[in-house]
């Protein structure tokens, strides 16, 4: 329901944008000024779409709870690209109009501001899209995005200068400016709230060869098993950038925990965290929890450290002594990558409805299921696919492959839940 309301608001603002434009220009007379008027439409549409990219990345809880942050980030990228396309067309059409109508182009301070904003959007979009190929650090990638919070006001100064006060387009720019300011104020207020209640690291535990759990003590909050948090660690006087991690603890236990794998620049330093270090936690986020859906038999499909939302859900089921049928498929390279091994074995012993099927892709002597996890393996180990809800979490490539294979086995999309979180 919330997702529909958000999409309705998006549609309404874009419709208002187009309507305001139609009331500003002459749609009957078609001449060289039509090119300029079309450029104004491109500007209005571009700034509206770029504004929404800020909305979708601002972690507004009332919106995020209807989408899931992974889905919102995909919308953020889509709206940013569409908005950049419109703004680029705006610059080209206005430039073309000036050349055709006047034979030259007369730049002034506000035109240069507009061009600077456009160039900035192009550079930040390119660097964000190519950050993996360029080998950019996460902190660099994040700071590139933060530049857009400066570029948008620059673009607004540009359009305000070329609009008549009291005109509908001028009112549109005011609406976008006020909404943008509200988003920024929300983010700043949220950061201040998070910083006011720090957490303390109470335990650092190695779970597997390169997997570590951090446990935190601090203000308790309501969350569902499977949700995630953004965390900043204060270690040695240095504050990290915020990073997203699934909450591996269930809400039934005293301490919060996360369980990262050493993969990137930040996670490779997790083992250096010490008890007593402070953490700033912004949570909860995400909708990837069996409590959010009317699920029958649960089938959890994890790849590597994608086990974390499922260990949270399994711990919740175990602590609450819920009578649920659960099958866990867990793909790893080898058993050295298995974390929570003893705990899961105890759960399998104590919970009659729970079955775990580890699958090893790179261990020939593994006595269990070997090879890459696939729809075929899943089908072989289940008593049919009816009345089952499939939850998928792992590396994006693996998750997408499994989802497509499940659909190929005629599993309806409504019974496939996933969290494809990809920066």
pLDDT band at 177; cut points 50, 70, 90: very high
Q: State the pLDDT at residue 238.
A: 93
Q: State the pLDDT at residue 62.
A: 80
Q: Which of 285, 304, 323 is the last residue of a domain?
A: 285
Q: Which of 134, 167, 194 is the last residue of a domain?
A: 194
* Residue 67 scores a pLDDT above 80: no
Domain shared by 109 and 95, yes or no:
yes
Q: State the pLDDT at residue 315.
A: 98
Domain shared by 171 and 34, yes or no:
yes
Q: State the pLDDT at residue 325.
A: 97
30-39, 136-145, 200-209, 254-263: the lowest-pLDDT one: 136-145
The reported pTM is 0.89
Instruction: Show the tokens assigned to 193.
Output: 């709230």
- Report how many domains make up the chain: 3
Domain shared by 190 and 250, yes or no:
no
Average pLDDT of the chain, as a whole number: 92
In order, the DSSP letters of 194-242 are: HHTS-EEEEEEEEEETTEEEEEEES------TT-EEEEEEEETTEEPPP
Domain shared by 79 and 143, yes or no:
yes
CATH code of the domain in which 368 resides: 3.40.50.80
Domain shared by 16 and 136, yes or no:
yes
CATH code of the domain in which 264 resides: 2.40.30.10
Q: State the pLDDT at residue 274.
A: 96
Domain shared by 140 and 68, yes or no:
yes
357-405: pLDDT as tens digits = 999 999 999 999 999 999 999 999 999 999 999 999 999 999 999 999 9
Q: State the pLDDT at residue 2.
A: 63
Domain shared by 87 and 180, yes or no:
yes
pLDDT band at 29; cut points 50, 70, 90: confident
Query: In percent, how much of the chain has pLDDT > 70?
Result: 99
Q: State the pLDDT at residue 314.
A: 98
Q: How far apart are CA 411 and CA 396, in angstroms?
A: 19
Q: Which of 233, 264, 285 is the last residue of a domain?
A: 285
Q: State the pLDDT at residue 123.
A: 94
203-224: pLDDT as tens digits = 999 999 899 999 999 999 999 9
In order, the DSSP letters of 276-328 are: T-EEEEEEEE----GGGS--SEEEEEEEGGGGHHHHHHHHHHHHHT----EEE
57 within domain boundaries: yes
423 within domain boundaries: no
In order, the DSSP letters of 120-167 are: HHHHHHHHHHTHHHHT--HHHHHHHHHHHHHHHHHHHHHHHHTS-TTS
Domain shared by 222 and 184, yes or no:
no
Bigger pLDDT: 204 or 74? 204
Q: Which domain holds residue 8?
A: 2-194
Q: State the pLDDT at residue 374.
A: 96
18-27, 313-322, 348-357: the lowest-pLDDT one: 18-27
What is the arithmetic mean of pLDDT over 248-270?
Answer: 93
What is the arithmetic mean of pLDDT over 162-191?
Answer: 94
Q: State the pLDDT at residue 347.
A: 98
pLDDT band at 421; cut points 50, 70, 90: low
Domain shared by 306 and 272, yes or no:
no
Q: How far apart are CA 330 and CA 307, in angstroms?
A: 7
What is the arithmetic mean of pLDDT over 288-296?
Answer: 91
Domain shared by 69 and 170, yes or no:
yes
What is the arithmetic mean of pLDDT over 322-343?
Answer: 95
Q: State the pLDDT at residue 74.
A: 85
CATH code of the domain in which 20 resides: 1.20.120.1770
13-17, 54-58, 59-63, 311-315: the lowest-pLDDT one: 59-63
HSE toward the beta carbon, residue 281, CA cutoff 13 A:
28
Domain shared by 133 and 19, yes or no:
yes
Highest averaged pLDDT of the listed ranges 169-173, 198-202, 284-288: 198-202
51 within domain boundaries: yes
Domain shared by 124 and 263, yes or no:
no
Q: State the pLDDT at residue 422.
A: 59
Q: State the pLDDT at residue 323.
A: 95
């Amino acid at each position: 329901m919330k997702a529909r309301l958000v999409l309705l608001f998006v549609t309404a603002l874009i419709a208002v944008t187009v309507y305001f434009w139609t009331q500003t220009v002459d749609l009957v007379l078609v001449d060289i000024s039509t090119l300029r008027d079309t450029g104004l439409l491109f500007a209005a549409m571009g700034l509206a779409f770029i504004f929404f990219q800020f909305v979708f990345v601002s972690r507004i809880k009332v919106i995020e709870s209807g989408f899931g942050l992974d889905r919102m980030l995909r919308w953020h990228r889509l709206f940013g690209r569409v908005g950049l396309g419109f703004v680029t067309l705006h610059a080209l059409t206005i430039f073309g109009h000036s050349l055709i109508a006047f034979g030259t182009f007369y730049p002034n301070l506000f035109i240069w501001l507009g061009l600077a904003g456009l160039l900035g959007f192009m550079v930040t979009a390119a660097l964000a899209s190519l950050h993996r190929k360029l080998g950019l650090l996460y902190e660099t990638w994040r700071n590139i995005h933060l530049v857009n919070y400066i570029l948008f006001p620059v673009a607004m100064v540009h359009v305000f200068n070329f609009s008549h006060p009291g005109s509908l387009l001028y009112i549109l720019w005011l609406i976008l400016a006020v909404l943008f300011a509200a988003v920024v104020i929300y983010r700043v207020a949220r950061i201040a709230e998070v910083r006011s209640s720090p957490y303390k690291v109470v335990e650092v535990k190695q779970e597997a060869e390169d997997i570590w759990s951090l446990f935190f003590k601090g203000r308790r909050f309501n969350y569902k098993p499977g949700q995630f948090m953004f965390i900043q660690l204060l270690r040695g006087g240095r504050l990290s950038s915020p990073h997203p991690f699934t909450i591996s603890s269930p809400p039934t236990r005293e301490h919060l925990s996360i369980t990262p794998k050493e993969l990137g620049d930040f996670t490779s330093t997790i083992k250096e965290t010490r008890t007593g270090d402070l953490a700033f936690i912004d949570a909860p986020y995400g909708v990837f929890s069996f409590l959010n859906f009317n699920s029958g038999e649960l089938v959890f499909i994890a790849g590597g450290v994608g086990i974390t939302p499922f260990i949270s859900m399994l711990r919740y089921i175990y602590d609450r002594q819920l009578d649920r049928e659960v099958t866990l498929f867990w793909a790893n390279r080898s058993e050295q990558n298995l974390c929570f091994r003893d705990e899961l074995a105890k759960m399998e012993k104590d919970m009659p409805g729970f079955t775990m099927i580890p699958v090893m892709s790179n261990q020939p002597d593994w006595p269990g299921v070997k090879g890459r996890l696939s729809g075929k393996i899943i089908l072989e180990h289940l008593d049919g696919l009816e009345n089952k809800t499939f939850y998928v979490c792992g590396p994006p490539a693996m998750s997408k492959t499994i989802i497509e294979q499940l659909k190929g086995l005629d599993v309806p999309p409504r019974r496939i839940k996933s969290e494809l979180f990809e920066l």
